Structure 1
Amino acid sequence: MWLNESEQELRRDLQSVASDLRWSAVELLRIAEQLRQAGNDVDAQAALRLCEVFQSNEGRLAGYAEEVKARAISRTTKTH
């Protein structure tokens, strides 16, 4: 069964935000490594904790996008 326009938009939005979180986590990992190398272990650990949060949320959003695709989550067509 095909997704309606609103469901397609929801799925794209969820995938987009998940991707943004993934790339943000990658960048934070790079920053954490630089902090660690500079001897700033406290801030490096804080950045790593943020990475964990981002990665967890990225996984949840990607899962929601798959639920939309499987029609376990739906959205009715918007009317303007």
Structure 2
Amino acid sequence: MALTKPNQELCRDLKSASRALEEAAHELLGAAKQCSEIELKVAMQKIEMLHRLADRLIAHADKVKAGRIAHDPEMGSWPDGDI
């Protein structure tokens, strides 16, 4: 099933947000390596949360591709365009 342009953009945006979360988790890990053990443990919990959220976004993108989630034109877009 071919995706409409809005659904392609939605899928692309979800994947882009997922990559941004993964990159943030990677940067947080690099910074956390220089912290105390307690701070490292807290950082690792945050990193785990970022990875879970990134995985959820990819799962949503897969649902868009499968046609189970669709862009709703009634929702419009962000008031000032892209975030």
Rg bigger for which structure? 1
TM-score normalised according to structure 1 size:
0.84
Identity within the alignment, %: 33
Q: Which amino acid aligns with 1:56?
A: R
Q: CA RMSD in A?
A: 1.5
**1:34 is paired with a residue of what secondary structure?**
coil
TM-score normalised according to structure 2 size:
0.81
Q: Deviations over 1:32-64 (max 9, x none)?
A: 2121xxxx1121111111100000000000010
Aligned match of 2:41? 45
Using the TM superposition, give the Cα deviation of residue 77 of structure 1 relative to its aligned residue in structure 2, in angstroms.
Answer: 4.7
Residues 11-22 of structure 1: pairs in structure 2 closer than 5 A: 11-22=11-22
Using the TM superposition, give the Cα deviation of residue 76 of structure 1 relative to its aligned residue in structure 2, in angstroms.
Answer: 4.2
Q: Which has the higher helix share?
A: 1
Aligned match of 2:52? 56
Consecutive aligned runs of 4 or more in structure 1 exceeding 3 Å deviation: 76-79
Aligned match of 2:30? 30
Judge conservation of contact 1:31–1:44 (CA < 8 Å) in 2. Answer: no
Gaps of 5+ in 1: none
Aligned residues: 75
